[in-house]
Amino acid sequence: MMDEKARIEQLRTELHRHNYQYYVMNKPEISDIEFDHLMRELQDLELRHPELFDPNSPTQRVGSDINHEFKQVAHKRPMLSLANTYNKEEVTEWYERVNDGLQGQPFQVCCEMKFDGLSISLHYEHGRLVRAVTRGDGQQGDDVTENIKTIRSIPLVLPQGLDYPDEFEIRGEVLMPWESFEALNREREAAEEPLFANPRNAASGTLKSKNSAVVAQRHLDAYLYYLLGEGIPGESHYENLQRASEWGFKIGPQMKLVSSLQEIFDYIDYWDVERKNLPVATDGIVLKVNSLAQQRSLGLTAKSPRWAIAYKFLAEKQSTVLREVTFQVGRTGAITPVANMDPVQLSGTVVRRATLNNEDFIRNLDLHIGDHVFVEKGGEIIPKIVDVDLDARDENLGPRVEFITTCPECGTPLVRYEGEAATYCPNETSCPPQLKGRIEHFISRKAMNIDSLGPETIAEYFRRGIIRDPADLYEIRRDQISGARGQKDKSASKILLGIQESTKVPFERVLYALGIRFVGETAAKTLARNFKSIDALAKASIDELLQVNGIGAVIAQSIISWFQNAQNQWFVERLRSYGLQMELSEDELSEHTDKLQGQSIVISGVFAHHSRDEYKALIEKHGGKNVGSISAKTSFVLAGENMGPAKLEKAQKLGIRIVNEDEFLKMIE
- Determine the average pLDDT of the residues in 158-174: 93
Query: pLDDT over 90 for what percent of the chain?
Result: 45
One-letter identity of residue 200 = R
- Determine the average pLDDT of the residues in 48-70: 69
State whether residue 491 is helix, strand or coil.
helix
Band of the pLDDT at 1, cuts 50, 70, 90?
very low
Residues 6+ apart with CB under 8 A from 395: none
Query: How high is the pLDDT of residue 486?
Result: 66
Residues 382-407 pLDDT 10s: 688 888 999 889 888 999 999 999 99
Cα(657)–Cα(669) distance, rounded to whole angstroms? 19
Asked if residues 605 and 599 have their Cβ atoms less than 8 Å apart, the reply is no
Query: How high is the pLDDT of residue 381?
Result: 56
10-24, 603-617, 645-659: segment of lowest average pLDDT: 10-24
Query: How high is the pLDDT of residue 472?
Result: 96
Asked if pLDDT for residue 352 goes beyond 70, the answer is: yes
Query: How high is the pLDDT of residue 517?
Result: 83
- Determine the average pLDDT of the residues in 477-506: 87
Query: How high is the pLDDT of residue 133?
Result: 92
Closest of 519, 528, 625 to residue 585, by C-alpha: 528
Asked if pLDDT for residue 67 goes beyond 50, the answer is: no
Report the b/e string of 185-214 with b at 16+ CB within 10 A.
beeeeeeeeeebebbbebbbebbebebbee
Higher local confidence (pLDDT), 497 or 606:
497
User: Taking the CA of residue 637 as centre, how many other CA atoms within 13 Å lie in the half-sphere pointing to its CB?
Assistant: 26
- Determine the average pLDDT of the residues in 519-535: 89
Asked if pLDDT for residue 64 goes beyond 60, the answer is: no
Query: How high is the pLDDT of residue 125?
Result: 94
Query: How high is the pLDDT of residue 153?
Result: 92
Query: pLDDT over 70 for what percent of the chain?
Result: 93
Asked if pLDDT for residue 85 goes beyond 90, the answer is: no
Query: How high is the pLDDT of residue 379?
Result: 47
Q: Is 317 a catalytic residue?
A: no
Higher local confidence (pLDDT), 32 or 354:
354
DSSP character for 79? Answer: -
* Bridge-based pairing state of the strands 600-604 and 636-639: parallel
Query: How high is the pLDDT of residue 161?
Result: 87
Asked if pLDDT for residue 261 goes beyond 90, the answer is: yes
Query: How high is the pLDDT of residue 73?
Result: 86
Residues 529-559 pLDDT 10s: 889 999 999 999 999 999 887 788 889 999 9
Of the residues 76, 114, 377, 525, only one is catalytic, namely 114
Residues 98-114 pLDDT 10s: 999 999 899 999 999 99
Band of the pLDDT at 21, cuts 50, 70, 90?
confident
52-66, 146-160, 450-464, 528-542: segment of lowest average pLDDT: 52-66
Cα(652)–Cα(630) distance, rounded to whole angstroms? 10
Residues 297-348 pLDDT 10s: 998 876 678 999 999 887 777 899 999 999 999 888 889 999 999 998 776 6
Cα(371)–Cα(398) distance, rounded to whole angstroms? 8
Asked if residues 375 and 320 have their Cβ atoms less than 8 Å apart, the reply is yes
**All structural domains of the chain:** 4-62 (1.10.287.610), 84-312 (3.30.470.30), 317-392 (2.40.50.140), 432-504 (1.10.150.20), 507-590 (1.10.150.20), 593-667 (3.40.50.10190)
Query: How high is the pLDDT of residue 506?
Result: 93
**Averaged pLDDT of the chain:** 87
Band of the pLDDT at 120, cuts 50, 70, 90?
very high
One-letter identity of residue 495 = I
CB atoms within 10 A of CB 412: 16
- Determine the average pLDDT of the residues in 466-493: 87
DSSP secondary structure string for all residues of 190-232: HTTPPPPSSHHHHHHHHHT-SBHHHHHHTT-EEEEEEEESTT-
- Determine the average pLDDT of the residues in 499-509: 94
Asked if pLDDT for residue 350 goes beyond 50, the answer is: yes
Cα(70)–Cα(445) distance, rounded to whole angstroms? 14
* Bridge-based pairing state of the strands 317-329 and 335-346: antiparallel
